[in-house]
Amino acid sequence: MKKILVACGSGIATSTVARTSIENKLKERGINMSELSFDQTSIPQIPSMAANYDLIVTTAKYKEDVGVPVINGLAFLTNIGEDKAIDKIIEALNL
């Protein structure tokens, strides 16, 4: 099971939009969603949670090294560059 953490400012609103978009795009690509699990959090919580995840997607710029790949997920809010961001997620998780 690959674990993805989606983070935004509060851990509620934009992370939900991004998560839904990521899930939909991965399904469209034929990814088996039963092999993935998603959680949401606020950006300040990333350092304390990162070790439990295979990938982190943020809706804001995040530069801190937390030991796991971090992908900027702004594309999932703007609908610009979503395919490229999904490619990065698939590559980071070796799906």
Residue from 7, 8, 75, 86 carrying the catalytic annotation: 8
Amino acid at site 90: I
State the first-to-last Cα distance of the chain, in angstroms, to the nearest integer: 11
8 is catalytic: yes
Structure tokens of 36?
Answer: 């993935």
Q: Which of 32, 11, 35, 23 is nearest to 82 (CA)?
A: 23
Place of tokens 């961001």: 85
The bridge status of strand 36-42 relative to strand 2-8 is parallel
Q: Which residues are catalytic?
A: 8
